Structure 1
Amino acid sequence: MTRRRGAATTPAVPAVPIVLAALAALLLTGTPPATAADAPPPTAADARSAPGWTVDAFPAGNAALQDVGRGGGRSAWAVGRREIGLERGRISYQPVAFVRDEPGAAWRQVELPAGLEASTVAPDGAGGTWVTGSRQGDSVPLGRYRAGRWQLQEVPLPAHVTGGGLTALASAGGPRDEWAVGYYQPDDLLTFHGLIEHGDGTSWQPVPVPDLGTDYWTLTDVAAAGPSDVWAAGSVGTADGWTNPLLLHYDGRAWSKVAAPDLDARYGDLVRLVVAGPGDVWAVGTETGPTRQDRTLVAHFDGRAWTVQPTGLGDGKATGAARTPDGVAVVGYRRTGGGYQPIGARLTRHGWEPLGLPAGPGPEGRIPGGVLSAGEHLTVVGVAPTGRAPDGAPLPPLPFSLTR
């Protein structure tokens, strides 16, 4: 799976989450990959196809949203990037961030500091918001937004790297006990290794990680039930060139790999974690492999073991999850010929129930990237592909937000 730079062959990169794949391509080539697709605005067809959902307004312009998270109070953030034109024959992008004050309100754009990427967003545990992403070099910039002002920090990467990225952050015991996970690319190698960083309120430092016996693994989410009960999820490479779902746990002393027979025997990855409390943890991702038939993957930890749950979502990719008053909500998408069908389900007292997400006004549908819960309200955020230009190049996607 690993190759030296300049080798004649290209490594077979296992399937990884959309966001991580985009960041990986950025580090490997220095050029962001082409995104899916600018389209007509939402219409009343949304309301007819999925009663109960309302379409939330975004500022004009394209944006490929890559993450969504809660801010202070009832506010929510969505981050990603915007296509701004061509430079030396390549598409140029700029990071973008949006915020709104309560469910159903219109989104507004927030100006980002120079040099700050925006593919990851999370609450900082003290009423503020973290925003970060990926970068070539030996550190990754991390921005904290609080009371209308930005503060920037540099998160150091391990020695001898080409670059890396942070994919998730979580507060375990307040602003002096925070965790960040992600990945880095070792210098001169076409592969990726997982990254765990700890923040003490002043600085961030990499921490030791377990030896997984592989040359490829990445982490995409981290969540905490307390200072000595922290979970991380992602994927780990296999000898046959695919990935297995990966779970790590921190017990207050060290990180270790979690044995989960119901997950370890499957090909795929995990992209989101939801911690409802000690002994009540959810992991969401996609099961895939040599058949190349994606199936949504949702697993639950009850304090004793991890077991895969029958959600009824079936084929597709799960991309987001959120804790709800009754349990958890999961969203994702399914390929449908030339388009994308948004899918989702919610665990209630009566079992799993479909969310009935509207397909969108255009033929290419919608791709949910995340879901937020605020009381009884759910908000699903993502991108709406909008087709191709006459020369065949994909048009920039529009952001979407649905609330009910």
Structure 2
Amino acid sequence: MGQSKITEMKRVAVCVIMSLVAACGANGELSGSGTPSRSAAAPHEPPSARPSLGEQLGRDGTTKTPVPAQTSRSAGRWKVVYRQKGDDREQVFQSVMFTDVAAVGEDRAWAVGERAYSTAGHEPLLAEWDGRRWRKVMDALPKEVRMCHLTRVDASDPGNVWVIAHDPEGGEDGLLHFDGQRWSHTPGMRQEEVLALPGGRAWTFGRKARYFDGSRWTDHPIPINVQAAQALSPESIWAVGEVSTPCGRGTCGVPAAAYFDGRSWRRTPLSVAESAVSFDTTLKAVLAVDGDKVWAAGGFTTPDGAFRPVLYQWNGGSWQAVNVSGGQITGLARDSRGALWAATTRWTPEGPDGYRLLTRGDGPWRSVRPPGPITAVTQTAGGTLLWGVGGDTIVRYMT
């Protein structure tokens, strides 16, 4: 082969290599279009310069400044980012279950749940997101909850995090609080939901409501049994759940909602389908966008063991039933595009196929199969980052 031919082949090879390098993103992954991969793209901007009230408020209802989204190849889809393994060092079967998640920004979030052993006994499960990774923080918990199941979590800021702890073995239930430095334990509070407010304040709910003003707890009458709550402000709070009503020879659960105006709680009427009245029905999730748009969701169980959804929307003056098919709704969140996300369970789950996500933006409802089981969801300020938990996994969605 002539020298000129060899030289030409070398020149072509160098050109090819340089083209490939130019087509790679910051993480070294090849982009089919020859442009930087999505992980190297400019930060996502909110849809408007002035976000709506619902986009400025976190789950707790406090005002937060929207933070530019982290960028990732997984933007626009759900992705498993953490999986909690069981501990079989002693050959004891152990199940892991995340039950709730709360976030106060792009760089701080908490997920709670339990690890249950086949020989009886429970351990709390607490993980924290620091902006880079999820890590277990159970060693920081008080000894009083070392055998408890952590069921609910909420936070108004990194120095005001609240967690409900149940003891399934007949011990004492309690409430955990993180002040930014250490966790403390308040015993004797059997509640189902907790809501964090600015200034170290909080509400807890169950068959009664209790308010913490930063120094002491006071009881407040509430007309429903609360399963979920969300605040637009400390003087504008929605709570949903159920009430008992006569049903045949006993009682049935009927979905119910209540509103706090800064002075007292009052029930707001809901229309209920006859099919739902026939079985125990409850609302398990609420999402308050603003004073004229609030979503409440839950479901009921059919005689054959399947789960069915119920969904309502508040229009500023009344609740309207929304027709939706699928499974029982256990979590609600809203992303930066304004799309609603609902975590659903179709039947008593024995695997990931029992879970679906329902979503709707400007068009019809869509069903999305998540990469892992999701039973609870939450969004960060602006909705640019959504977290979901269920089973042994934590999943993330970025817009």
TM-score interval (norm. to shorter): 0.5 to 0.7
Cα offsets for 1:281-340 (capped at 9, x unmatched): 1111014466765312221111011112234xx232111111322042111121389644
1:219 corresponds to 2:244:
no
For residue 329 of structure 2, the aligned residue among 306, 318, 324 is 318
Q: Which runs of 4+ in 1 moved over 6 A?
A: 136-139
What residue ranges of structure 2 are gaps of 5+ in the alignment? Answer: 1-72, 87-94
Match of 2:243 among 236, 242, 254: 236
The residue correspondences of 1:326-341 to structure 2 (distance < 5 A) are: 326-335=338-347, 339=351, 340-341=353-354
Are the equivalent residues in 1 in contact too, given 2:332–2:377 (CA < 8 A)? yes
Equivalent of 2:114, from 69, 78, 81? 81
Tell me, what secondary structure is at the counterpart of 1:335?
coil
1:65 counterpart residue number: 98
Alignment of 1:329-368 (within 5 A): 329-335=341-347, 339=351, 340-358=353-371, 366=373, 368=374
- Does the C-alpha gap of structure 1 residues 289 and 229 become closer, same or farther in structure 2, counting only changes over 3 Å? farther
The answer to whether the 8 Å contact 1:343/1:356 transfers is: yes
Hey, which of these two has a bigger chunk of helix by percent? 2
Q: Which residue of 1 aligns with 2:178?
A: 145
In the alignment, the residues of structure 1 paired with residue 245 and residue 128 of structure 2 have an alpha-carbon distance, to the nearest angstrom, of 39
User: Aligned to 1:370, which of 376, 382, 392?
Assistant: 376
**Residue 95 of structure 1: aligned partner:** 124
Trace 1:144-183 onto structure 2 (pairs within 5 A): 144-154=177-187, 164-171=190-197, 174-175=198-199, 177-182=201-206
Equivalent pair of 2:334/2:340 in contact (CA under 8 Å) = yes
Aligned residues between the structures: 299
**What are structure 1's unaligned runs of at least 5 residues?**
1-46, 158-163, 183-193, 211-216, 361-365, 384-398
Q: Distance in 2 between matches of 1:126 and 1:107?
A: 15
Shift of the 355–175 alpha-carbon distance from structure 1 to 2, 3 Å rule, reads farther
1:205 corresponds to: 218
Matched, 1:381 2:381: no
- Residue aligning to 2:162: 130
Q: 2:143 aligns with which of 114, 131, 144?
A: 114
* SS state at 1:357 partner: coil
Q: 1:285 maps to which residue?
A: 298
The 8 Å contact of residues 122 and 168 in structure 1, kept in 2 or not, is answered as yes
Pairwise CA distance, 1:232: 1.1
Q: TM-score, normalised by structure 1?
A: 0.66
Q: Give, in whole Å, the separation in 1 of the partners of 2:221 and 2:179.
A: 30
Shift of 1:179: 1.7
For each residue in 1:173-232, what CA deviation from the matched residue of structure 2 results, as whole angstroms up to 9, or x when unmatched? Answer: x226532212xxxxxxxxxxx12111101122221233xxxxxx6311111122332111
Preserved contact between residue 75 and residue 101 of structure 1 (Cα < 8 Å): yes
Return the letter of the residue paired with 1:168.
V
- Deviation, 1:82, is 0.9
Q: What is the Cα deviation at residue 67 of structure 1?
A: 1.5
Taking structure 1 as reference, are residues 284 and 59 closer, same or farther at Cα in structure 2, changes over 3 Å only?
same
For 1:134 and 1:284, locate their aligned partners in 2 and report how far apart those are by CA, in whole Å: 24
- Cα-to-partner distance string for 1:23-46 (whole Å, 9 max, x where unaligned): xxxxxxxxxxxxxxxxxxxxxxxx
Work out whether residues 242 and 254 of structure 2, in 8 Å CA contact, stay in contact via their aligned partners in 1.
Answer: yes
- Offset from partner CA, 1:136-183 (integer Å, 9 cap, x none): 9998532222334223334x65xxxxxx23423242xx226532212x
Instruction: State whether residues 82 and 395 of structure 2, in contact with CA within 8 Å, keep that contact through their aligned partners in structure 1.
Output: no
Q: Within 2, Cα distance between the matches of 1:376 and 1:130?
A: 24
**Contact 1:369 / 1:381 at 8 angstroms: preserved in 2?**
yes
Within a 5 Å distance, the mapping from 1:297-316 to structure 2 comes to: 297-311=310-324, 314-316=325-327
Tell me which amino acid in the other structure corresponds to 2:346: R
Quickly say closer, same or farther: Cα 1:230–1:299, change in 2 above 3 A. Answer: same
C-alpha distance in 1 between matches for 2:301 and 2:368: 23
Q: Structure 2: which amino acid aligns with 1:70?
A: A
1:335 maps to amino acid: W
Secondary structure of the residue that 2:85 maps to in structure 1?
Answer: coil
* Superposed CA offset, 1:223-251 (max 9, x none): 11223321111112221232110111112
State the TM-score, normalizing by the size of structure 2.
0.66
Pair member with larger Rg: 2
CA root-mean-square deviation: 3.1
Is 1:403 the counterpart of 2:396 in the alignment?
A: yes
